[in-house]
Structure 1
Amino acid sequence: MPVDTLPLCGIGDEAGASAAVQTGALNELGWPLIELRSVDGTALADLGEAAFADLAGAVHAAGLRVHCVDSRIANWARPVTGDFDDDLRELDVLAERCARLGTRYVRVMSYPNDGLRPGAWRAVVLRRMAALAARAERAGLVLLHENCAGWAGASADRMLQLLRYVDSPALRLVFDTGNGPAYGYRALDLLPALTPWIEHVQIKDAVVEGDEIRYTLPGHGECRVADCLRHLLDRGYTGALSIEPHVKVRPHESATAGDDETRAAFVACGRALEELLGRIRKAAA
């Protein structure tokens, strides 16, 4: 697919807390898609019915389509020893809400360890992920496992083990270009083995400064975002590119900064991605 036809997207709560700010930032960029995670600090699955209806209405009124929703299923806050029913309940809520939002993609992870021996950790993860994928398949959803927290998060080999064990069209991958510094790997090292399974891409970039990670505009860090994009494009990737800047805030981990500040940083990251894609297009011409 030509680089200039890839759909562009962004995780809304990285622009601000409210639905109005989130949709407004995507409209300012002129992009067609939004990725939803939380509104006013509340996770999508925890919104009351009225709040969810307001969110769906705001997305529709803004002329946007929802590409993916980001769940807490198996994520960094839900270790492998946690209550599996929490994840099953969240998936059931999101199945109904995804149908109303017009998306089938749900971002998941694969359970951080919490004192289990390696073999036991692996066994619980595989069993749980297979059950989640079976439930998702019945609901018409696709779970997208992220290269982030959990048993399979930082290893291409483990992600492939997970995919082969589950063996379901309801489990595929989302690849985040900027997670490597936090989890001890280089994105481009994982990417070749995983490319056939990737159905969504999240864009962030970062530099490591001593013991700290500082997130940057796409293409301004050490994550080789342009090389990752070239690799995907050369191999026929046709999915969306969704920014998750982390430049000002990480709203899934803490309260947001002021909406004006976070929205401006979000839009700047979007423009940086457009510029990066423009350079890739020019080099390929």
Structure 2
Amino acid sequence: MPGERPFPQHRLTGIGDEAARGLEGQLDAVRRLGWTALELRTIDGVPLADLDAGTFRTVAARLRDAGLDALCLASRIGNWARPITHPFADDLAELDTLADQCAALNCQYVRIMSYPDDGLPETEWAARAVDRVARLAARAEAAGLTLLHENCAGWAGDRADRMLRLVREVDSPALRLLFDTGNGVPHGYDALGILEQVLPHVAHVHVKDAVRAPDGTVAYTLPGDGQARVTDCLRLLLESGYTGAFSLEPHLAVRPHEGLRTQDDAVGLFVRAGRRLEEVLAGLAPHATTPAASAATPTASATKPAASEGARA
């Protein structure tokens, strides 16, 4: 039918603060795209776990009023700002707060990373990272949540063998993997090669693209215009029967780890990147050989175990 979008809209979302600091701008970006969900990270620059109770109630009410789901909450747990020597109590407290927020939002997923090193020997770093994630997963499982480890900052951030070891040794239904298509370009690894190895354990996907210049500088692009082989990654996911969400994180106007927020039209850039993501997925839609499930439900293939210590999202 004319105007029909061939890719299921309920499987498309995006990290809202990449479009706007404030919630209304984040909602506006999703409305303009016609999507039905948001991935939440910060509101007015404040991480979700640091919102006061009244502000969070307002956020939850606005999402309900807008008819939008929250598919994932992006935490700071184990991220680029919290190395392995950072007090673990902060991560446990953040997870407890996010668990309450997830219950209020009917959200299952919390994004985590696996702790950058801070001068420890590799064996000790590995043991401590695995232990922390195992303890977090136990707490998440008790709360009915699923932690999503991203191929970003930390011990298992940029190596498939470490991702596989992390999932295997933690051995919990509350730990799955989040694959970001674009993290390999700025941090010098082959993201598609990693995806090929960890594919059965991927339950959520971030989409960004980038190019690296000969002088080493990195610029972010619309999905499919860069060097991250975004189309190849998305094709592989769809052909494998991946039924989860594709979450836009374009980094065109906002890069939180760099403290960057441009004066450009962030909502407009986000919407433009979202339209491109739709185009890429629509072209790949024939490769989606299994029925689309709810994006809030883990993929059927992601019921067992599995890269960037320096990669940051």
Map of 2:57 onto structure 1? 53
Q: Distance in 2 between matches of 1:42 and 1:171?
A: 26
For the residue of structure 2 that corresponds to 1:239, the secondary structure is: coil
Residues 162-203 of structure 1 show CA distances to partners (whole Å, capped at 9, x for unaligned) of 000000000000100000012221111101111110010000
* Structure 2 residue corresponding to 1:219, chosen from 215, 219, 224: 224
Q: Distance in 2 between matches of 1:247 and 1:165?
A: 36
1:180/1:81 CA distance change after superposition, 3 Å? same
For the residue of structure 1 that corresponds to 2:265, the secondary structure is: helix
Name the % identity.
Answer: 54
For the residue of structure 2 that corresponds to 1:108, the secondary structure is: strand
For the residue of structure 2 that corresponds to 1:159, the secondary structure is: helix
Would you say the 8 A contact 2:42–2:48 is kept in 1?
yes
For the residue of structure 1 that corresponds to 2:77, the secondary structure is: coil
Would you say the 8 A contact 1:108–1:144 is kept in 2?
yes
AA partner of residue 79 (structure 1): P
1:278, distance to aligned residue in structure 2 (A)? 2.2
For the residue of structure 2 that corresponds to 1:107, the secondary structure is: strand
* Structure 2 residue corresponding to 1:241, chosen from 224, 243, 246: 246
Map of 1:28 onto structure 2? 32
AA partner of residue 232 (structure 1): L
AA partner of residue 177 (structure 1): T
For the residue of structure 2 that corresponds to 1:76, the secondary structure is: coil
Map of 2:303 onto structure 1? none
1:215/1:3 CA distance change after superposition, 3 Å? same
Q: Distance in 1 between matches of 2:259 and 2:16?
A: 15
Tell me the TM-score normalized by structure 2.
0.87
Would you say the 8 A contact 2:205–2:246 is kept in 1?
yes
Residues 69-99 of structure 1 show CA distances to partners (whole Å, capped at 9, x for unaligned) of 0000000100001100000000000000110
Q: Distance in 1 between matches of 2:39 and 2:8?
A: 20
Matched, 1:251 2:233: no
1:62, distance to aligned residue in structure 2 (A)? 1.5
Q: Distance in 2 between matches of 1:6 and 1:184?
A: 32
Q: Distance in 2 between matches of 1:253 and 1:133?
A: 29
- Name whichever of 50-59 and 172-181 sits farther off: 50-59
Map of 1:230 onto structure 2? 235
Tell me the TM-score normalized by structure 1.
0.95
1:26/1:5 CA distance change after superposition, 3 Å? closer
1:281, distance to aligned residue in structure 2 (A)? 3.2
* Structure 2 residue corresponding to 1:261, chosen from 244, 261, 265: 265
Q: Distance in 1 between matches of 2:61 and 2:181?
A: 31
**Mapping of residues 96-245 of structure 1, within 5 Å:** 96-209=100-213, 210-245=215-250
Q: Distance in 2 between matches of 1:173 and 1:255?
A: 27
Q: Distance in 2 between matches of 1:147 and 1:177?
A: 9
Would you say the 8 A contact 1:6–1:238 is kept in 2?
no
Q: Distance in 2 between matches of 1:22 and 1:130?
A: 33
Q: Distance in 1 between matches of 2:119 and 2:258?
A: 23
Structure 2: unaligned runs, 5 residues or longer: 1-5, 290-313
Q: Distance in 2 between matches of 1:66 and 1:274?
A: 20
Residues 10-44 of structure 1 show CA distances to partners (whole Å, capped at 9, x for unaligned) of 00000000000001100110001100000000000
Map of 1:84 onto structure 2? 88
Matched, 1:271 2:269: no
Structure 1: unaligned runs, 5 residues or longer: none
Q: Which structure is higher in helix share?
A: 1
